[in-house]
Amino acid sequence: MTRNILILIQIIFFSAFLCARVSFAQETPSQAPAPDPSLKKQVQALTAKVNTLQSENQQLRAGVPPAPPKRSEEDVREIARLKAALDQLKAESERSIAQLTEKSKRLSAENQALKLETQKEAEKSRTEKESLLADKTVLLRDKENAVAQIQNLQDALMKSQKNFSEWQSAKNALADQAEASKKESAASAQKVQFIQADLDDAARKTRLLRAQLDADRKTFAETSGQIREMQNLIAKLQSENAKVTLLKEENAKLALQREATEKKSAETASNLAALKTANQEFDKARERDLGRIRDLKADSEADLSDMRNLRTSFQSYLDSLIASLNERRDKSRSASKAETLQAALDADLADVQNLKSNFDLYFESLVSHFEERRAKMPAKET
């Protein structure tokens, strides 16, 4: 019996150690409050009761060893529930990973589509720019041709004006000569024939000059028409230049839009990189949390198993102690001091039964509190 009492003392100290360990495990993940002081009082009461039993049963020598612990149906259900919770946690982790992967793929597709759209806009802008440059080259060439034609027309006009001036000078000279001839006709009749010939020659030259003047006038009219056409062409060129200016402005707007699109694409790429970094950090944190959860579950399962084994062993010991006391009481009924010994044994039996009842209540409360804290651990970690 002394050996059983020592075993009981060791069990009590081991239960106190487990209580401290449970308190530490509860305070580590979620900073839970301290255990109920009534539990500590019950432990102290149990310790005092064990000391009393040890002092009162020093003469007892025999005892029944405790039966080996057996796994109860409640333990099997608890293990199944823990496995189901672990499977649910794994499923939630896989769903989170799948959602993050899908989101990353969707962002990559949007970024690729934005890049393709940017490339199309850049190609369109480049094509329009090349078309504008080609149109500008054609307009410049037409403008140079028009300027050359205007210069030729101006040269022809100056030549016609010079011929007209020469004809006017010749006409004035002939008029002067005719006037001089008329003045000299009274003085010399011999010169009349020469003067007439000169007049005929002058008339012929005059006709030639008139024909040339008519041709020059016709050329001048044609030149004036060409000048008007050149003026219309110049107006058209000016209109085309205005269109080119508008096209340049449109090209500048397209360039600004392209820069804005490129900037947006760069921002999208930066956001995608930040999202990838956040996803990687989330995965690392999730792995760390899962590792801590697995460690806490393993520790809690080991502690719970030890506590249940302790409870089973202690209950078996108390049952054997009660059976021994009953046996002693039955044997002492035929002794000489039956009433005194019977009263003492009854008191001891009542104390042991109270001890068993208090111990059962204590362990029920401790196991229930521990299971409640352990059930809350995965929900807080995830």
Residue 257 sits in a domain whose CATH number is 1.10.287
Whether residue 66 lies inside any domain: the answer is: no
Whether residue 39 lies inside any domain: the answer is: no
Q: Report the length, in residues, of the chain.
A: 382
Count of CA atoms in the C-beta half-sphere (13 A) of 104: 14
Which pLDDT score is estimated for 178? 65
Whether residue 259 lies inside any domain: the answer is: yes
Whether residue 355 lies inside any domain: the answer is: no
Residue 277 has pLDDT above 80, yes or no: yes
Kindly report, residue by residue over 196-218, the tens digit of the pLDDT.
Answer: 676 677 777 777 877 877 787 78
Whether residue 303 lies inside any domain: the answer is: no
Which pLDDT score is estimated for 68? 42
* Banded pLDDT at 45 (limits 50, 70, 90): low
* Banded pLDDT at 354 (limits 50, 70, 90): confident
Whose tokens are 């069990």? That residue is 11
Q: Give the Å distances, CA to CA, from 41 to 38, 149, 358, 372.
A: 5, 121, 11, 21
- The span from the CA of 124 to the CA of 318, in Å, is 93
Residue 145 has pLDDT above 70, yes or no: yes
Which helix or strand (DSSP H or E) is residue 111 part of? Answer: helix 73-185
Of 370, 376, 372, residue with least CA distance to 19: 370
- The span from the CA of 374 to the CA of 366, in Å, is 12
Whether residue 367 lies inside any domain: the answer is: no
Kindly report, residue by residue over 228-257, the tens digit of the pLDDT.
Answer: 777 787 778 778 778 778 888 888 888 888
Range of the domain at 239: 106-279
pTM (2 d.p.)? 0.27
Kindly report, residue by residue over 149-181, the tens digit of the pLDDT.
Answer: 777 777 777 776 777 777 777 767 766 776 766
C-beta pairs of 138-143 under 8 Å, 24+ apart in sequence: 139/237, 139/240, 139/241, 139/244, 142/233, 142/237, 143/237
Kindly report, residue by residue over 68-113, the tens digit of the pLDDT.
Answer: 444 467 767 766 776 777 677 667 767 777 777 787 788 788 878 8
Which pLDDT score is estimated for 329? 67
Which pLDDT score is estimated for 195? 65
Of 92, 80, 85, 231, residue with least CA distance to 154: 231
Whether residue 160 lies inside any domain: the answer is: yes
Measured from the Cβ of residue 236, the count of other Cβ atoms closer than 10 Å reads 13
Question: Position 85: which residue type?
Answer: A
DSSP annotation of 57: T
* Banded pLDDT at 377 (limits 50, 70, 90): low
Q: Give the Å distances, CA to CA, from 169 to 73, 81, 175, 195, 338.
A: 143, 130, 10, 20, 181
Residue 53 has pLDDT above 70, yes or no: no
* Banded pLDDT at 334 (limits 50, 70, 90): low
Whether residue 350 lies inside any domain: the answer is: no
Residue 32 has pLDDT above 50, yes or no: no
Residue 224 · residue 161 · CB < 8 Å: no
Which helix or strand (DSSP H or E) is residue 223 part of? Answer: helix 191-332
- The span from the CA of 370 to the CA of 365, in Å, is 8
| Structural tokens at position 115 | 């890049």
Q: Which residues contact 314 (CB under 8 A, 6 or more apart)?
A: 8, 11, 359, 363
Number of domains in the chain: 1
Angle at 101 between CA 99 and CA 102, to 5 degrees: 65
- The span from the CA of 270 to the CA of 278, in Å, is 12
Residue 271 has pLDDT above 60, yes or no: yes
